Amino acid sequence: MNVHEYQAAEVLARYGIPTNEGIVVTDPEGAMEAARTLGGTVAIKAQVHSGGRGKAGGIKLAHSPEEASSAAGAILGLDIQGHVVSKVLVVPGVDIAREFYLGVILDRPNRRILVMASAEGGVDIEEVARDRPERIIRVLADPALGLQAYQARGMAFDLGLPSDKVNGFASIAAKLYRAYVDEDATLAEINPLILTGAGEWLALDSKMSFDDNALWRHDGIEAMRDPAEEDATELDARRAGISFVKLDGSIGCIVNGAGLAMATMDAVKLHGGDPANFLDVGGGASADQVAKAFELVTSDPNVRAILINIFGGITRGDIVAQGITEALGRVTVTAPIVVRLAGTNAEEGRAKLAEAGLTAVETMDEAAIQVVAAAGPN
Amino acid sequence: MSILVDANTRLLVQGITGREGSFHTGQMVEYGTPVVAGVTPGGAGKTVAGVPVFDTVAEAVLTTGANTSIIYVPARFAPDAIYEAVDAGIALVICITEGIPVNDMVPAFAWVRQRGARLIGPNCPGLITPGQAKVGIMPGFIHAPGPIGLVSRSGTLTYEVVDSLTKVGLGQSTAVGIGGDPIIGTSFVDVLGLFEADPATEAIVMIGEIGGTDEEDAAAFIRDRVTKPVVGFIAGQSAPAGKRMGHAGAIISGGAGTAASKMDALTAAGVGVARTPSEVPALLRAAMSA
């Protein structure tokens, strides 16, 4: 689960990290008011779950309340990588002396938590990682003991910080690591972490994402969810226990199992079609789940044909077939449907589907070819 | 021969009285798997599918000599179940549970390794040595004994491939589902090493998916250390970046973890890479006769 910059900053502030506190507003008048309250130069920053805000014109400086109003007016409503800006954060302008990067993330190959820092702050860290990997300092935290103080100090020394700045940096690194672990984050990042002209540390821009599987033990995190930033269909699916990801194509997919669902999309693509979605209906593929899946898939106006691919394991194919016909009795589906049913009692299942007037085939490739034909040319 | 589980396995089921645990215990017993004990705290004295239930893993191990454990415990209790099994001396722990927080698995993974035990999963279908032991939730009847070792991050996609192999007469030595989470106890490289050393395995199928770089690591291992023919398939060739595709670990992030990168790495390592699962049997035949 992703949150906005201002929410990430709130979390980090709770852990004692100095953040640039501002005011969140949803209209130009609010921005003017906020600028007046803060006084002096302010920055107006788009609050969207997307990177590249600066390049897209989503961050502007304003030297007066009037400028703040017009800057907010220009930013609100902007489309940044498919995210429409509906609120902006107004923060005090700061005197930046040096910019750094500091982040905590899971290192999958090492199965450990990784703390990263770079003297190249305020730029796209993935670009630095790709082009100048030697500019990133990496420290792995011990899985049982966590990040140790000497490790955090070591990073500060490696960044070439003057000795009077080492402890300040190490303290922020330790707090960021603590926030990552305690809040079950999947990413905790400060970019840039700055030294002001007065020599103070300040987290100028914060970013956090959280582990969906751990939200149950963090009420505060779930409360930060912004439904406007999430696809309504994906949210609806999640509530029903269905994994759904919206894509751009015209062929709706309903599959049991995540791996098989991906392989089904690949087969559609290979045979000349474009999948409209990823959908894992779950192992059982019950009538209720399949009916919900039909609703989700047909809510997309681009869908011109539907491919159902079920490998019956423990769940028998004839039961799955019954579920599909039952679901079709409850939900109106006008797009042509191709069902691929394999595994336990698949033949009986296919016979049942054929009786109900559905196209039922044995192999995935055959099903993909048929559904692509049914959808017609793009 | 086979890897990890066989007729000598003495299986213990953690969470045996739960809905999933009791159902799958019945299925495993029916398949002929030697299930010797179950554990549910407070469930001592009960039996499930004829299997005696104990309160603790330590007690179950002491009484029955269980040497392998399978976990069907809900996500918030599963890490504790892993610790309990390993602490009781179980050498091989299979965790079926989906949805364990990643931050719980970081210390669990390290601890299991440190204790010299092996964890398979979490978020996996388990593993099966056809005709000997089914330790998981896969449908047993699609498998047949034979020379193909199979390792996969997926569940139903594995059944799909196993089924296609069995139908053309290519049985399996062992089929291992290593799981779809970002942190899993046993990687492709681990299982490839076991198959390479197993005299009963003549060729290997590996089924990967987007996310992480375990397939790239596997490709390097195959190039340097595996002499047996390997065929691969990577799911998610049409998946967009930045979106989690069902499995917690199936996400392309920061440009890493794409299907193309994995397929290229495997191809460069001499692995026959299928474009769809249906191409696997033919590629395997070709690789085995080469």
Pair (A287, A200) in one structural domain: no
**Bridge partners (DSSP) listed for residue B133:** B129
Facing A112 at nearest CB: one of B106, B209, B243? B106
Domain end among A222, A243, A267: A222
Q: Could you confirm whether B247 is annotated as catalytic?
A: yes
Pair (A257, A357) in one structural domain: yes
To the nearest whole angstrom, how far is the Cα of A167 from the nearest Cα of chain B?
27
Cα dihedral B138, B108, B186, B134 in deg (nearest 10): -30
β B145-152/B172-177 pair status: parallel
What pLDDT is attached to residue A283?
65
Pair (A72, A185) in one structural domain: no
Pair (A191, A246) in one structural domain: no
Domain end among A92, A120, A154: A92
To the nearest whole angstrom, how far is the Cα of A348 from the nearest Cα of chain B?
17
What pLDDT is attached to residue A284?
66
Mean pLDDT of A175-192: 97
Which of B25, B27, B28, B103 to mutate to test binding with chain A, by most A CBs within 10 Å of its CB? B103
Contacts of B73 (CB under 8 A, 6+ apart): B14, B15, B18, B21, B80, B81, B97
Pair (A245, A346) in one structural domain: yes
What pLDDT is attached to residue A376?
87
Pair (A243, A371) in one structural domain: yes
Q: What is the DSSP letter of B33?
A: -
What pLDDT is attached to residue A122?
86
Cis peptide before A192 (omega within 30 of 0): yes
Does A259 sit within 8 Å of B156, measured CB to CB?
Answer: yes
Which of residues 138 through 177 in chain A touch B, CB cutoff 8 A? 143-144
Facing A314 at nearest CB: one of B75, B139, B236? B139
Q: Sheet harboring B272-274: ordered strands across?
A: B133-136, B126-129, B172-177, B145-152, B203-209, B230-235, B272-274
Domain end among A202, A222, A242: A222
> Is residue A13, in this structure, part of any structural domain at all?
no
Mean pLDDT taken over chain A: 93
Mean pLDDT of A193-203: 97
Facing B277 at nearest CB: one of A247, A269, A364? A364
In 3-state terms chain A splits into helix, strand, coil percentages (rounded to 5) of 40, 25, 35
Evaluate if residue A315 carries a pLDDT over 80: no
> Is residue A16, in this structure, part of any structural domain at all?
no
Integer Cα distance of A205 and A192 in angstroms: 6
Pair (A129, A204) in one structural domain: yes
Mean pLDDT of A51-67: 93
More confident residue, A282 or A304: A304
Contact A214, A254 (CB under 8 A): no
What pLDDT is attached to residue A268?
96
- pLDDT digit string, tens, across residues A3-28: 999 999 999 999 999 999 999 999 99
Pair (A246, A318) in one structural domain: yes
Q: What domains can be seen in chain B, in order of their start residue?
A: 11-120 (3.40.50.720), 138-289 (3.40.50.261)
- At A149, which CATH number? 3.30.470.20
What pLDDT is attached to residue A359?
85
Which of A101, A120, A177, A295 is catalytic? The answer is A101
- At A50, which CATH number? 3.30.1490.20
Reported as a pLDDT band with limits 50, 70 and 90, residue A344 is confident
Q: Which residue of A has its CA nearest to B189?
A: A109
Integer Cα distance of B265 and B255 in angstroms: 15
Pair (A35, A159) in one structural domain: no
Reported as a pLDDT band with limits 50, 70 and 90, residue A243 is very high
Kindly report the backbone phi and psi dihedral angles of residue A204, in degrees, each rounded to the nearest multiple of 5, phi listed first: -85, -30
Pair (A169, A281) in one structural domain: no
Pair (A246, A115) in one structural domain: no
Cβ of residue A120 closer than 8 Å to a chain B Cβ: no
Write out the residue range of the structural domain in which residue A367 sits.
Answer: 232-375
**DSSP notation for A295-350:** HHHHTSTT--EEEEEEEESSS-HHHHHHHHHHHHHHS---S-EEEEEEETTHHHHH
Q: How many domains does chain A have?
A: 3
Pair (A236, A305) in one structural domain: yes
To the nearest whole angstrom, how far is the Cα of B47 from the nearest Cα of chain A?
22
- Per-residue confidence in pLDDT tens, chain B, 290 aa: 799 999 999 999 999 999 999 999 999 999 999 999 999 999 999 999 999 999 999 999 999 999 999 999 999 999 999 999 999 999 999 999 999 999 999 999 999 999 999 999 999 999 999 999 999 999 999 999 999 999 999 999 999 999 999 999 999 999 999 999 999 999 999 999 999 999 999 999 999 999 999 999 999 999 999 999 999 999 999 999 888 888 888 888 777 889 999 999 999 999 999 999 999 999 999 999 97
What pLDDT is attached to residue B125?
95
> Is residue A216, in this structure, part of any structural domain at all?
yes
For residue A303, give the nearest of A345, A253, A243 by alpha carbon: A253
Residue type (1 letter), A206: S
> Is residue A10, in this structure, part of any structural domain at all?
no
- At A286, which CATH number? 3.40.50.261
What pLDDT is attached to residue A378?
63
Q: What percent of chain A has pLDDT above 70?
A: 99
Interface A:B, Cβ pairs < 8 A: 171
